[in-house]
Amino acid sequence: MFAELGDLFDNSLEKAESMNEESDQFEIFNISIGETEELNDYADDTINVYSSPQVDEELEKWLFRINFESQYAGVNLSDSELMEDSIKAMQKRQVTLLFANDVYGVDFEEEKVRSMIEEEMSTIKEYGHYEDVILTVADNLGLTEDEFLYDFEYDNFLNMFAWREILPSLEAKHPIELNEDTFSHNERLIEAYNNEVISYAKELGIDLR
């Protein structure tokens, strides 16, 4: 199983690097969080700004992620589909973090985010998967443990942090219904959250659907 995943990992990484070298032939639409007035004071320190030159690094990361996920699911994407899906995923992440701050006032304070990451890693260690899940992946990417957690995966942790901060407000707006189980309620909250992000993006002139 791990050997198969290793092959998928290597193939995805190689494809991402190859496609990113040719990414100038694609039109990439980005909004710079740093250009948003309310975030100018701290955005560059807390949220990755997806504009050149960072866009190359971020795009390669998303090309890797989407290609790995699609291969793992048994879905073969064409190069154009992979590029399009990766750009959309990268853009959605950026808009989601902007939305969390702008609409819900989520403060991506580094100390709080790092504390959450440490708690997550402690849980993974308790289950005995830290070496396979974290260290092996970091090593395959040629990254140190800190580079993997606080650079490569940092946007995923920011996304997780935003969800946890916003969840109480979502639960207040969409309380659990009679005879609704916890799983169904959580799915409904996720759908409501995604719809809010899509609506917010639409106001910015961005179609995330």
Q: What pLDDT score was predicted for residue 40? A: 36
Q: What pLDDT score was predicted for residue 43? A: 37
Are the CB atoms for 182 and 176 separated by under 8 Å? yes
Q: How far is CA 149 from the centre of its chain?
A: 13
Q: What pLDDT score was predicted for residue 48? A: 37
pLDDT over threshold 80, residue 73? yes
- Report helix, strand or coil for 82: helix
pLDDT over threshold 80, residue 92? yes
29: left (phi over 0), alpha (psi -120 to 50) or beta: beta
Q: What pLDDT score was predicted for residue 36? A: 36
Sign of the dihedral defined by the CA atoms of residues 6, 146, 190, 37, in that order? negative
Q: What pLDDT score was predicted for residue 110? A: 94
- Share above pLDDT 90 across residues of the chain, in percent, rounded to a whole number: 49
200's tokens: 């917010």
Q: Which of 34, 189, 47 is nearest to 106 (CA)?
A: 47
Cut 0.85: pTM above it: no
For the chain, the straight-line distance linking the first and the last C-alpha, in angstroms and rounded, comes to 34
Are the CB atoms for 78 and 18 separated by under 8 Å? no
Distance CA 98, CA 71 (A): 30
Rg value, the chain, Cα = 18
Amino acid letter for position 52:
S
* pLDDT, averaged across the chain: 80
CA-based diameter of the chain, in Å?
53
Q: What is the pLDDT of residues 122-148, one digit of tens each?
A: 999 999 889 888 998 888 889 999 999
